C-alpha cells in the first residue's frame, strides 16, 4: 500500500481506520526545570484521520498553543511522539520535513500580525511557493496566486495591494489563500475567526467549511470557542489542564457529553447550552 492510501480512510460509518495522517501519542511537554516544572501537556493521544475535521477546545492554559506548536513541528515533546503519515517528525530528515511543511499549513488568529505589512498580497501568497520551491517559474506561481485568491473570493486587483488596504475579514482571506497556495493536505486553524468582528466571523467559517469540502482538506481547528468547533468539526477533543478530558464525534461530545467539565463548558455557550 502506498503512503497516500495508508493514511486513514473513512469506512463511511463516521469512524476511521488505518494510519492517522497526523497523530500525537502519549505526548508530554514540560517547561522549565530545577523544581519549577510546568507540565503543559500530559499523556495526550490525538489521531487526525485524512479528510476529517477535528476541533481541539479548551480554556485558557489548557495547553492548546503548546499542542499546536507540536502539531506543526515547531516544538518537540518531552516524551511521546508526534507522527505524520505514521512516521515521527524528524528535523534531520530534510525530504520528509519538506513534504510535511508543504502538506500542513496554518492560518493564525490575527492576520494583522501574521501578514507582513510591507509585502503585496501577490508576494504574501507566493511566499510559501517560493520558499518550498513549488512551481516551475514565476509565471506558474503567479497563476497559482490568482487561482487561490479566486477561491477565497478576492479578485485580481487585490494582488498589488497591501494588507492595510483590506478589512479584517479580507485579511484573513489573504492568510487562507497563502495557506492553500502549496496545495496542503491539512489546514490547521489557530483560532482563525476569533480576532474578527462577529459580522464577518460567520462568512469566514462558511468559507473554511466550503474550501474543506471542495478541496478534501483535513482540518484541525484549535479554539477556546466550543460553538466554532461545533459548527466546523466532525470530531471534538476537549483539553483540560494538559490532558484530554473527552474526545469523540462532535454530535456526541456536544449533545451528550460524558464529562461534567464538558457540560459546564457547553453551558457557558448560550447557543449550545
Ligand X SMILES: Nc1ncnc2c1ncn2[C@@H]1O[C@H](COP(=O)(O)OP(=O)(O)OP(=O)(O)O)[C@@H](O)[C@H]1O
Please name which of 56, 79, 65 lies closest in space to residue 239, comparing C-alpha atoms.
56
Question: Around Cβ 12, how many Cβ atoms within 10 Å?
Answer: 6
88: β partners: 83
469506512: which residue's cell?
A: 11
Name the residue nearer to ligand X (CB basis): 38 or 165: 38
Q: Per CB under 6 A, which of residues 62..91 are in contact with ligand X? A: 62-66
Name the residue nearer to ligand X (CB basis): 12 or 35: 35
Task: Out of 61, 73, 86, 153, name the contact with ligand X by CB under 6 A.
Answer: 61
User: Cα separation of 175 and 152, whole Å?
Assistant: 10
Task: Out of 7, 22, 24, 40, name the contact with ligand X by CB under 6 A.
Answer: 40
Task: Out of 2, 12, 33, 60, name the contact with ligand X by CB under 6 A.
Answer: 60
User: Cα separation of 73 and 71, whole Å?
Assistant: 5
3-state percent breakdown (helix, strand, coil) of the chain, nearest 5: 40, 25, 35
Name the residue nearer to ligand X (CB basis): 18 or 61: 61
Q: Which three cell numbers stand for residue 64?
A: 492548546
Name the residue nearer to ligand X (CB basis): 41 or 121: 41
Let me know: does 51 contact 218? Beta carbons within 8 Å: yes
Name the residue nearer to ligand X (CB basis): 145 or 196: 196
485568491: which residue's cell?
A: 149
Name the residue nearer to ligand X (CB basis): 21 or 40: 40
Task: Out of 32, 35, 260, 270, name the contact with ligand X by CB under 6 A.
Answer: 32
Q: Is residue 31 involved in binding ligand X (CB under 6 A)?
A: yes
Minimum Å gap between C-beta 63 and ligand X is: 4
Q: Is residue 241 involved in binding ligand X (CB under 6 A)?
A: no
Name the residue nearer to ligand X (CB basis): 64 or 185: 64
Minimum Å gap between C-beta 38 and ligand X is: 4
| Segment interacting with ligand X (CB under 6 A) among 60-68, 78-86, 156-164, 179-187 | 60-68
| Segment interacting with ligand X (CB under 6 A) among 56-64, 99-107, 179-187, 210-218 | 56-64
Q: Per CB under 6 A, which of residues 171..230 are in contact with ligand X? A: 224
| Segment interacting with ligand X (CB under 6 A) among 53-61, 150-158, 171-179, 260-268 | 53-61
User: Cα separation of 60 and 196, whole Å?
Assistant: 19
Let me know: does 167 contact 199? Beta carbons within 8 Å: no
User: Cα separation of 238 and 255, whole Å?
Assistant: 14
Minimum Å gap between C-beta 128 and ligand X is: 25
Q: Where are the alpha helices (DSSP H) in 76-159?
A: 94-103, 111-114, 121-131, 138-151
User: Cα separation of 223 and 259, whole Å?
Assistant: 19
Residues that bind ligand X (CB under 6 A): 31-32, 38, 40, 58, 60-66, 224
Amino acid at each position: 500500500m502506498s503512503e497516500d492510501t495508508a493514511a486513514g480512510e473513512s469506512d463511511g460509518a463516521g469512524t476511521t481506520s488505518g494510519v492517522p495522517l497526523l497523530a500525537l501519542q502519549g505526548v508530554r511537554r514540560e517547561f522549565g526545570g530545577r523544581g519549577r516544572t510546568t507540565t503543559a501537556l500530559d499523556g495526550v493521544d490525538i489521531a487526525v484521520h485524512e479528510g476529517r475535521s477535528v476541533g481541539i477546545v479548551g480554556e485558557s492554559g489548557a495547553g492548546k498553543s503548546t499542542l499546536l506548536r507540536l502539531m506543526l513541528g515547531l516544538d518537540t515533546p518531552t516524551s511521546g511522539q508526534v507522527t505524520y503519515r505514521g512516521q515521527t517528525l524528524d528535523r534531520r530528515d530534510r525530504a520528509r520535513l519538506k513534504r510535511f511543511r508543504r502538506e500542513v499549513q496554518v492560518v493564525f488568529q490575527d492576520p494583522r500580525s501574521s501578514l507582513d505589512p510591507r509585502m503585496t498580497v501577490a508576494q504574501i501568497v507566493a511566499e510559501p511557493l517560493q520558499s518550498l520551491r513549488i512551481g516551475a517559474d514565476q509565471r506558474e506561481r503567479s497563476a497559482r496566486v490568482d487561482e487561490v485568491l479566486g477561491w477565497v473570493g478576492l479578485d485580481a486587483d487585490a494582488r498589488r495591494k497591501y494588507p492595510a488596504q483590506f478589512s479584517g475579514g479580507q485579511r484573513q482571506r489573504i492568510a487562507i489563500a497563502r495557506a492553500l497556495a502549496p496545495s496542503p493536505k491539512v489546514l490547521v486553524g489557530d483560532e482563525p475567526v476569533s480576532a474578527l468582528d462577529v459580522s464577518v466571523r460567520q462568512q469566514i467559517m462558511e468559507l473554511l467549511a466550503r474550501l474543506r469540502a471542495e478541496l478534501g482538506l483535513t482540518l484541525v481547528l484549535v479554539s477556546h470557542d466550543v460553538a466554532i468547533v461545533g459548527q466546523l468539526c466532525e470530531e471534538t477533543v476537549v483539553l483540560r489542564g494538559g490532558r484530554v478530558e473527552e474526545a469523540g464525534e462532535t454530535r456526541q461530545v456536544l449533545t451528550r457529553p460524558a464529562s461534567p467539565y464538558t457540560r459546564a463548558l457547553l453551558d457557558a455557550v448560550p447557543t449550545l447550552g
